[in-house]
Chain A
Amino acid sequence: GAVVSQHPSWVICKSGTSVKIECRSLDFQATTMFWYRQFPKQSLMLMATSNEGSKATYEQGVEKDKFLINHASLTLSTLTVTSAHPEDSSFYICSASVRTSGTEELFFGEGSRLTVL
């Protein structure tokens, strides 16, 4: 299957700083990538849809200025958590969809665990 790589896998930062997470499609081009947030023992909550060359589409309740998404190339999308606070601590996972046999399948990155002190 397609490979999606996410970096860093784990980051600890001080409150008030910004953190950038990268999501790369290694062996395919992804015009659309998705960013999810996952709290312990909870489901994947879609935050935003990242579109190459255009603005991201954010889900209701997700602050655009807080979670900056950039999808400047067909293989890279970035999520920047600005002015991070402890409540932003979470597991962030990106994914990209690949069209196979007429259906879009979703492939996930490894996830990035953010801890804000």
Chain B
Amino acid sequence: GENVEQHPSTLSVQEGDSAVIKCTYSDSASNYFPWYKQELGKRPQLIIDIRSNVGEKKDQRIAVTLNKTAKHFSLHITETQPEDSAVYFCAASISNTGNQFYFGTGTSLTVIP
């Protein structure tokens, strides 16, 4: 089955700096890679996603890159703000099959004001 690894497990940055979280996956059939943000005690919320036919996607301060050959994808947050502090999860899935989503172990991001 799919194995998703995520690094780092914790990340602290100064407000205004950039944050990068990296994930790798094992199943080359995976073709959909969402990122979720989870605040303490709340449900995960989708913040951005990327499909395997795209190498990069950007939405305001958030961007995701995908390297299919190396089987890794990354989340980039620029101009970080205190409200970006949360746990971020990457996931991999094979779309169109109703299959499960496999999650990374999470990254706890702290943005220091």
Chain A residues within CB distance 8 Å of chain B:
1, 31-32, 34, 41-44, 46, 49, 91, 93, 95, 97, 102-111, 113
Complex-state Cα separation, A43 to B38, whole angstroms: 10
Would B34 and A106 count as touching, CB distance under 8 A? yes
CB-CB under 8 A from A46, the residues of chain B are: 100-103
Chain B residues within CB distance 8 Å of chain A:
32, 34, 36, 41-46, 49, 51, 87, 89, 91, 93, 95-96, 98, 100-106, 108
With A106-B46, A111-B43: A34-B101 Cβ-Cβ less than 8 Å:
yes
30 contacts between A and B (CB under 8 A): A1-B46, A34-B101, A41-B87, A42-B105, A42-B106, A43-B89, A43-B103, A44-B44, A44-B103, A46-B100, A46-B102, A49-B100, A97-B101, A102-B96, A103-B32, A103-B51, A103-B96, A104-B32, A104-B93, A104-B98, A106-B34, A106-B93, A107-B46, A108-B36, A108-B45, A109-B43, A111-B41, A111-B42, A111-B43, A113-B41
CB-CB under 8 A from B103, the residues of chain A are: 43-44, 46
Complex-state Cα separation, A31 to B97, whole angstroms: 12
CB-CB under 8 A from A102, the residues of chain B are: 95-96
Would B106 and A108 count as touching, CB distance under 8 A? no
A74 to chain B, nearest CB (A): 14
With A42-B106, A103-B32: A32-B98 Cβ-Cβ less than 8 Å:
yes
Among candidates A91, A104, A109, residue contacting B96 with C-beta atoms closer than 8 Å: A104
Would A105 and B46 count as touching, CB distance under 8 A? yes
Q: Ordered nearest first, which 4 A-B pairs have the shortest CB separation?
A: A108-B43, A103-B95, A43-B105, A44-B103
CB-CB under 8 A from A44, the residues of chain B are: 44, 89, 103
CB-CB under 8 A from A111, the residues of chain B are: 41-43
Would B32 and A110 count as touching, CB distance under 8 A? no
CB-CB under 8 A from A107, the residues of chain B are: 46
Would B96 and A34 count as touching, CB distance under 8 A? no
Complex-state Cα separation, A113 to B51, whole angstroms: 33
Complex-state Cα separation, A31 to B44, whole angstroms: 21
Complex-state Cα separation, A91 to B87, whole angstroms: 15
